[in-house]
Amino acid sequence: MTNTPTARFEQLLSSRALIGWGAPVTTARPVASPLYEFGGGYPDPASFPYDGMVEATARMIKAEGAQALTYGEPQGYRGLRELVCHKYRLFENLDVAPENIFVANGSGHALSLAFSAFVDPGDPIICEAPTFSGSLNNIRRHGPEILDVPVDEEGMVTSVVRERLEGLRREGHRCKLIYTIVNFQNPAGPDLSLRRRRELVDLAEEYDTLILEDDAYGELRFDGEPKPPVYALDRRGRVIRAGTLSKILGAGVRLGWLCAPRAMLPAFQGFNFGGGVNPFMSRVATWYLREHMEEHVKLLIDVYRAKRDAMLRGLWELLQGTDVEISKPEGGFFIWIRLPARTDPARLEALAVAARAQYTPGPAFFPNGGGERFIRLAFSYEPPEKCYEGSRLIARAILDARR
């Protein structure tokens, strides 16, 4: 069958579509049939509650089948919004109402709703460097001026946030929002410290801007004590919080949300789908997690802690004694590596490809360039034994890639 030719459409693209046109869809290095998948933050398929989801679907269909198969509430299925409120109370001691929750098609869509509601092309926004590459691509599609802020062991460096905000004020400009990943920062790994969470809220008030707090992994804490959400420290309605079920139930359910002051929610609705987001899967997820959320999260913590520890063991067995820096995140999916001096990134890539070991190179996470001396490894997908074996192959490649 002959393919139908495509009309010349490039000159008709919107300005938003043209931003990033031709950029690669994926940020991980291409590896044909990777044997060790450390590139993307894929949840462990062995941890998915298959039988429980089948049972929950059957029970839900008997009870709510007609409602599940028609259009839903614009703000999202109320049962799911109530479940999110319960989750916040259970894991973060955060008390919000269902009226503060806006259901979205995964956290990426939730973040996009927030950016669409508040960011025009050319508007200044502040985000971390490094930051999650998926969010960075999302931000770039909205065309803002991105002012980056470094990350250290306490997370986003708020003294630099102040410098950026003050610089904008002197120029007669205003920051539209500050985007931060607060727990197990992706990719660098640290939590935003309590001191800096408070400072960030104070800065938002002083400079009249908003904070977009991204927390995709907060429940998956292996070590340390949880810190209050930035949303909980806010008293002036300046914080929007994004969350997801992708990491604790399954990425394929495509359910996320924004938690925000009620008066803001119509701004998100204007960019959302009609009829609510996925009324069917919202109900399935709710029916399962109502009864199993706490026990399932406990299981996941054990699963992912074992993977993290196996990967760290494999890396340090070979890299001990070098000037490498390797994060030990207290939760989440990722390990961030600052490569030894004189490591050749191109040589490392070739060696890792030959070993069929995937990773994501550092430049994918930096808004304004840099990151050549960093790589990110995801320990979430492979079983512990492959995390150990594959990390040793990556470590060997790092040693052999030195100039």
Query: Which pLDDT value is given to residue 34?
Result: 73
Q: Specify the DSSP class assigned to residue 144.
A: P
Phi, psi of 90 (to 5 degrees): -70, -45
Tell me whether the CATH fold assigned to 28-49+296-400 matches the one assigned to 50-291.
Answer: no
Q: How far apart are CA 127 and CA 181, in angstroms?
A: 9
First and final CA of the chain: distance in angstroms?
51
Task: Report residue 76 as tokens.
Answer: 């999202």
DSSP string, 296-319: HHHHHHHHHHHHHHHHHHHHHHHH
Q: How far apart are CA 180 and CA 239, in angstroms?
A: 11
Residue 36 and residue 377 in contact, taking contact as beta carbons nearer than 8 Å: no
Whole-number average pLDDT of the chain? 94
Query: Which pLDDT value is given to residue 9?
Result: 86
Q: How far apart are CA 4 and CA 114, in angstroms?
A: 38
Q: Specify the DSSP class assigned to residue 152.
A: E
- Amino acid code (one letter) for 183: N
Closest CA to 299 of 51, 55, 47: 47
pLDDT in tens, 179-209: 999 999 999 999 999 999 999 999 999 999 9
pLDDT reading at 117 higher than 60: yes
19-28, 140-149, 333-342, 343-352: least confidently modelled range: 19-28
Q: Which CATH architecture has domain 28-49+296-400?
A: Alpha-Beta Complex (3.90)
Q: How far apart are CA 220 and CA 387, in angstroms?
A: 18
Could you tell me what percent of the chain has a pLDDT over 70? Answer: 96
Could you tell me the pLDDT band of residue 270, with boundaries at 50, 70 and 90? confident
Q: Is 236 helix (H, G, I), strand (E, B) or coil?
A: coil
pLDDT in tens, 51-78: 999 999 999 999 999 999 999 999 999 9
Residue 303 and residue 44 in contact, taking contact as beta carbons nearer than 8 Å: yes
Helix (H) or strand (E) holding 58, with range, is helix 50-68
Residue 132 and residue 105 in contact, taking contact as beta carbons nearer than 8 Å: no
Query: Which pLDDT value is given to residue 217?
Result: 95
Query: Which pLDDT value is given to residue 24?
Result: 52
Q: How far apart are CA 347 and CA 349, in angstroms?
A: 5
Pairing mode of beta strands 256-259, 177-181: unpaired
pLDDT in tens, 165-180: 999 999 999 999 999 9
Query: Which pLDDT value is given to residue 15?
Result: 79
Task: Report residue 387 as tokens.
Answer: 């995390």
Phi, psi of 152 (to 5 degrees): -125, -160
Q: Specify the DSSP class assigned to residue 143.
A: -
Could you tell me the residue ranges of all domains in the chain? 28-49+296-400, 50-291
Could you tell me the pLDDT band of residue 23, with boundaries at 50, 70 and 90? low
Closest CA to 241 of 330, 331, 181: 181
pTM of the model: 0.94
Could you tell me what percent of the chain has a pLDDT over 90? Answer: 89
CATH number of the domain at 50-291, out of 3.10.129.10, 3.40.50.2300, 3.40.640.10, 2.40.30.10? 3.40.640.10
